[in-house]
Amino acid sequence: MTDALPLLVVIPLFAALFPVALGYLWSDAGWATAAVTALLHLGLASVVAQQVINSGQFSYAVGGFQPPIGIELVADSVTAVLVVLISVITILIVAYARRAGPHQNAFYSELLLLTAGVSGVVITGDLFNLYVFLEITGLATYALVAANRSPAAALASVKYLLVGTIGASLYLLGVGYLYVATGTLNMADLAGQLPAVGYDTPLVVTGFVLLMTGLAIKTALFPLHTWQPNAYAESPHSVTAYIAALVSTAAAYAIFRITYTVFTTSFASVVPLALDALAWAAAISVIVGSVLAVVQSDLKRMLAYSSVAQFGLIIAGIAVMNEIALTGSLVHLVGHAVMKAGLFVAVGGLASIAGGQTIDDMIGLGRRAPIVSLGFATLAFALVGVPPAIGFAGKWQIVLGAVSAGHWAVGVVAVISTMLTLAYFLRIVERLYFRSPSSVDEQTSDMSMNMTTDGGDAMATSISQTTRVIVTLSAISAIALGLAASDLISILEPALEVYF
C-alpha cells in the first residue's frame, strides 16, 4: 500500500478543480468537495501511519524512476504524525468554514491546494520537489489571505507574496549550491555525498545558510516575520486558523528535514557555528516575538506574534542538535498546530458576538459565551505550558535537551518565554472572567442587543454550535495529547534515533 503516499498529494490537488468547475451548477459544490476530500485524506493518512507503525520507514519512486535520479517520497513516523495532523486540521477547518465562511467556491479550491502543498512538503524526499511544494503552499496561502475581498487583506497578501517569494527563491538558490557541489537533489543521497565534498567548504556552508534563511522567512522567525502579523490579522478567521496551524509548521518541518536528513549531526560537529547561529536567531525570535505579543491590542495580531515566539522555540530545539530537544520540538510542532487552530477559531467565535477583536472587546464574555471562553482559557494555559497539557510536554523536553547539550541560553530563553506567554494570555483571561463591563459598556451592549432584535446582522447573539464543538475538541485534544505525550514520543523515536 505504498501507493497511498502520492495520493495524499494527488487527491487534494485533483479535487481542487471541482469547486471551481462545479460551482456554476451547484452552489454547495465547494464545501461538499472539501469535506469528502478531507475525509479521504484522513483515510489515506491513517493507511500511511498504519504502514509506518507496522513496518517502519518506506518510500515511493514517483513515475517509476528509481532514486536518486527520480523523485522519491518518503514516509517515516514523523511524516506519519504530521500527515494525520494535516488531515485532522483540514476536517476541523472545513467544518468551521461551513458557517463562518468565506462562502465562495474558489475558497475551497485554494484550501485544497494548500492541503496538497503542505502534504507534499511533509512527504517529499527531494530538495527541488520540496521547493515546488513550498511554492504551491505559498501560492494557495497568498490567495487565501485575500479571500474575503477586503482591500487591506489584498495589501497584506501582496506583501506576504513579495517576502515569501524572496524566501522561496533563496531556498532555491541554496538548492542550486548543493546541486553544484554534489550533482544530486535526493535528500538521502545528498547526506552521503556531502562529506566527500567536505562539510566546511564555502559552497556547502553558503548553501546551508541560504536554505535556512529561505525557510526562516517561510517560518516567520524574527526579523524575517514582518509579513506574518498583517497576513494573520487581515485574513478571514477560518483562513487564519488554517494557515497558522499548517503553513509555518510545514516550513519548520522542512528545516528539521534539511538539518538532520541532508546535513546530519556530523555537519554540526564540523561547522558548529552554523547551527549555533540558527539557535541564537531562534532564541532572539522567542524573546522579541513574546514581547511584541504582550504590547498588541488586536487579538489576532497578538496570536500572530505568539507564533513568531513559539516557532522560535521549535527551531531552537531543532538547532541544538540533541535528541531530547528534537523530540520536544516535534511534539511542540504538533501541539502548537492543534492549540493555535483552536485559539484562532475561538477568537473568531468571540469576535462574532463581541463585534470586534481587540482585547477590550473581550470584557465580560466569560459569562456571555461560557463554553468558548473556557476553551480559549484552557488552550491559552496549554500553550503557556501548564501541565498536563501538550504545551508542557514539548517545552519541558526542549529545555531538558538544551541544557543537557550545554546550550544554557536556549534553556533560559524557553523558561522566560513561558512567563511572557503567561503575561499576554493572562490579559485576555482576566478580561474574559474577572472584569465586569463598566456602566458605559453595559449601555452599549444593551443598545447592541436592541439592534440585533431589530434585525441587525452585524453582531450574532450566540456563537455557532460548530465553533463551540471545534474549540472544545481542540482544548480536549491539547490535554489528551499531553497525557499521551510519552506515547507520541515513542512513535516519533524510531525515526529520530537514526540521526544520533
DSSP labels, 153-202 = HHHHHHHHHHHHHHHHHHHHHHHHHHHHHHS--BHHHHHHHHHHH-TTSH
DSSP 355: S
Q: Based on C-alpha coordinates, what's the Rg of the chain?
A: 22
Q: Which is nearer to another protein, 122 or 175 (CB)?
A: 175
* Helix, strand, coil percent values for the chain (each to nearest 5): 80, 5, 15
Shortest distance in whole angstroms from residue 179 CB to another protein: 7
Q: How far apart are CA 337 and CA 474, in angstroms?
A: 10
Shortest distance in whole angstroms from residue 185 CB to another protein: 8
Q: Which is nearer to another protein, 176 or 494 (CB)?
A: 176
Q: Which is nearer to another protein, 71 or 420 (CB)?
A: 71
Task: Tell me which residues touch another protein (CB under 8 A).
Answer: 128, 131-132, 135, 138-139, 142-143, 146, 149, 151-152, 154-155, 157-158, 161-162, 165-166, 169, 172-173, 176, 179-180
Q: Which is nearer to another protein, 223 or 272 (CB)?
A: 223
- In the beta sheet, which residues pair with residue 124? 73
Q: Which is nearer to another protein, 161 or 308 (CB)?
A: 161
3-state secondary structure (DSSP) of residue 358:
strand
Q: Which is nearer to another protein, 36 or 173 (CB)?
A: 173
3-state secondary structure (DSSP) of residue 80:
helix
Cα 432 to chain centroid distance, Å, stands at 26
Shortest distance in whole angstroms from residue 82 CB to another protein: 23
Q: How far apart are CA 8 and CA 119, in angstroms?
A: 7
DSSP 18: H
Q: Which is nearer to another protein, 126 or 361 (CB)?
A: 126
Give me 368's grid cell.
Answer: 456571555
Shortest distance in whole angstroms from residue 186 CB to another protein: 12
DSSP labels, 426-454 = HHHHHHHHT-PPPHHHHHHHHHHHHHHHT
Shortest distance in whole angstroms from residue 126 CB to another protein: 11
Shortest distance in whole angstroms from residue 282 CB to another protein: 24
Going from the C-alpha of 27 to that of each of 18, 38, 106, 437, the distances in angstroms are: 12, 19, 11, 42
Shortest distance in whole angstroms from residue 176 CB to another protein: 5
Contacts 24+ apart (CB under 8 A), 349-354: 349/463, 349/464, 349/467, 349/468, 349/471, 350/299, 350/376, 350/463, 351/237, 351/299, 352/100, 352/459, 352/460, 352/463, 352/464, 352/467, 353/459, 353/460, 353/461, 353/462, 353/463, 354/459
Q: Which is nearer to another protein, 46 or 169 (CB)?
A: 169
Shortest distance in whole angstroms from residue 137 CB to another protein: 12
Shortest distance in whole angstroms from residue 62 CB to another protein: 14
Dihedral sign for Cα atoms in the order 301, 302, 303, 307 = positive
Q: Which is nearer to another protein, 172 or 262 (CB)?
A: 172
